[in-house]
Amino acid sequence: MALYVKLSRPEDLPQAFAEAWNAHDMDAFAALFHHDASFVNRFGHYVHGIDAIVAMHRPIHETVYRDSSLMNEPLDLVPLGDHAAVMHFWSRLTVGGSHPAGAHMVDTLIQAVLMQREGTWRVQALENVTLADPRTGQAVLRD
């Protein structure tokens, strides 16, 4: 079932992102991005263009993240004029037993640049950063 959410406001992104992720619906996920968007995943892998973004996510949703869920919490929204904004939101990924490391959680901070084109807001650039202890590199969960 495709969700195809149309973002009428930039602040709709965290919920729409989580819904598409949790449905493991790559068409709905793709609909959140402009065709020429860029994405940096939590491991620093950079891709450009909607086809590359989907190609990076489809295999993990079919395998190690097939039983994962995401919960997002908006942090801030900074307008950059009438048709652009930067948004930060916390994201907690809960991974199930299909992951090689077993069930666990990961917290990340997402920064997204959104642009409004043709009346619809979509992501132009997104970067996802894993929260980690700077002394050890060990992933940490935020309080």
Average pLDDT, the chain: 94
Q: Is the pLDDT of residue 1 over 90?
A: no
| Burial of residue 123, with CB atoms counted within 10 A of its CB: 0-12 exposed, 13-18 middle, 19 or more buried | buried
| Cα angle for residues 56, 88, 28 (degrees, 5° grid) | 40
User: What is the tens place of the pLDDT at every residue in 58-88?
Assistant: 999 999 999 999 999 999 999 999 999 999 9
User: What is the tens place of the pLDDT at every residue in 6-41?
Assistant: 799 999 999 999 999 999 999 999 999 999 999 999
Domains of the chain, by residue range, sit at: 10-130
CATH of region 10-130, choose from 3.10.450.50, 3.30.420.40, 1.20.140.10, 1.10.357.10: 3.10.450.50
